[in-house]
Structure 1
């Protein structure tokens, strides 16, 4: 007895489906530094819904010796399928043999901005001279212990020729977002990546540093050699660097790359 064609096709399809391996959602461990956090948080539910994967995220600076710092986390064996961090800090992990160089992918550029406490007088920082005046007149300034703060402490204050004058009132902050401490009244002026200060309540965003003394930090992603799910990690990184992520990158205060 011959089966009708439609029934035969249905039977064949059911056999193929049963024989095919089931698609498996992955549990992906991500380590993410502050500058890309706001964009990542906006994109996370979108990616999880589209991929079926679940992202578990550990937060910490790209450098430094704090227990939360990404290099420190990796050194003590915390699991990571993807690391998102300052590009030159990622390059250091690549040189150390921790991250696969073939996985390195640029994501976005980040510039430094300045904030004051909400309700406080907003200084002019539209020019280098205006920025210099604002810093000199401030009772205190604060910056992070990551890329932006390292640049301010080691280079920018010297470029402005105010390093000796300002140093007693300058503070490098660990762990806590600088804008939170400015909002609490701990410091007069706060400097950090624009994408890190914009989400903080209780502050007024004054603006970006003038380009002549600006420092542009490129954020990038990579896959550690120890990654348990490298294929899923590559899919996530590809999404974060794609045009689909561009709207969240721009909204967070980061500058998208032309290729993205």
Structure 2
């Protein structure tokens, strides 16, 4: 886990958080999806130091059928205080009564990017036709089982007019990060949230999808209904969304919501 150098404003925010912290430290259980995971990892040590709370962190996709998926965890009644996930999927859980009403905090947007194995020729995907050719020239294409992969499977292949050509050559990968599949040579081209590709060693990110076919995915957090630490949970979400932490979030490949205000 790397330790980011927080700007002076962020350090000031940490100091203010420490003064406002609860008298007794809390164990706060958090599950984050991969898109916001690196930003969360980078910021969590500063939050723990300033608040005195201890974060118990786990990871899982925002959707899908795997046992670690956040909806599946909540359905099993796992004792979770905060979830950080794709905004649309979070809204669905909120409507189902799984999350505290009014507790949603928008954290960042994430574009979809594509990658190849480190050192491999890098296709130019800056245009729609270039992206189309990159898919067609790849022997095996990987995409995720979460928001970006669902978009590729249900919409992008049709927008590119290559659904039939990619049958048997493009696959949705459950649970495992797409970057790892590429790094291990199981695919020679793949696409996922840029923030999920950036931490993976052994790959080169060739670019983001062209604007005409890009899908920005919102990542948000919320307090789980019935949390034993609702005050600390809201405090964590406020900390992650603070303008002082926008630069640390941006460094992970996300576009922080705080920067838009």
Q: TM-score by structure 1 length? A: 0.90
**Cα RMSD (Å):** 1.0
In the other structure, the counterpart of 1:15 is none
- Within the alignment, does 1:224 sit opposite 2:238 as a pair? no
In the other structure, the counterpart of 2:121 is 121
In the other structure, the counterpart of 1:182 is 182
Offset, 1:259: 4.5
Q: TM-score by structure 2 length? A: 0.90
In the other structure, the counterpart of 1:212 is 212
Looking at structure 2, the residues matched to 122 and 140 of structure 1 have their Cα atoms a distance apart, in angstroms, of 15
Of structures 1 and 2, the larger Rg is shown by: 1
Looking at structure 2, the residues matched to 159 and 132 of structure 1 have their Cα atoms a distance apart, in angstroms, of 10
Looking at structure 2, the residues matched to 130 and 39 of structure 1 have their Cα atoms a distance apart, in angstroms, of 30
Deviations 1:93-135 (A, max 9, x none): 0111111230011000001000000111100101001110111
| Structure 2: gaps (5+ residues) | 1-21
In the other structure, the counterpart of 1:29 is 29
- Within the alignment, does 1:245 sit opposite 2:235 as a pair? no
Offset, 1:167: 2.2
Deviations 1:131-180 (A, max 9, x none): 10111111110000000000000000000110111122011001111101
Aligned ranges 1:28-177 → 2 under 5 Å: 28-177=28-177
Moved beyond 3 Å, runs of 4+: none
| Structure 1: gaps (5+ residues) | 1-21
Indicate the SS of the match to 1:24: coil
